[in-house]
C-alpha cells in the first residue's frame, strides 16, 4: 500500500512516534528519525523533525 501522492510532509517534535495510516489505516508502527527524516514503511507518509 503506497499512497505517496496523497501524503503531505508532517512535522514532528518528538524523537520517537507512531504512524497508523490515518484514514487508510494500517498496523501501528513506531518510527525514529534518521537524519531528521523518516518515511512510514506501510503507507509512505514522510515525517520531518522540527
- Of the candidates 48, 50, 49, 41, the one whose C-alpha atom is nearest the C-alpha of residue 4 is 41
Query: pLDDT tens digits for the chain (50 residues)?
Result: 444 556 699 999 999 999 999 887 999 999 999 899 999 999 999 999 99
Give the CATH class of 4-49: mainly beta
pLDDT of residue 23: 83
Q: Are the C-beta atoms of residues 39 and 29 closer than 8 Å to each other? A: no
- For the chain, give every domain's residue range: 4-49
CA distance 39 to 50: 15
CA distance 41 to 35: 17
- Of the candidates 19, 49, 50, the one whose C-alpha atom is nearest the C-alpha of residue 36 is 49
Q: How many CB atoms lie within 10 A of CB 40?
A: 21
Q: Give pTM, 2 decimals.
A: 0.79
Amino acid at each position: 500500500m503506497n499512497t505517496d501522492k496523497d501524503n503531505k510532509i508532517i512535522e514532528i517534535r518528538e524523537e520517537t512516534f507512531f504512524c497508523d495510516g490515518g484514514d487508510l489505516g494500517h498496523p501501528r508502527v513506531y518510527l525514529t528519525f534518521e537524519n531528521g527524516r523518516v518515511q512510514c514503511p506501510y503507507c509512505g507518509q514522510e515525517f520531518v523533525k522540527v
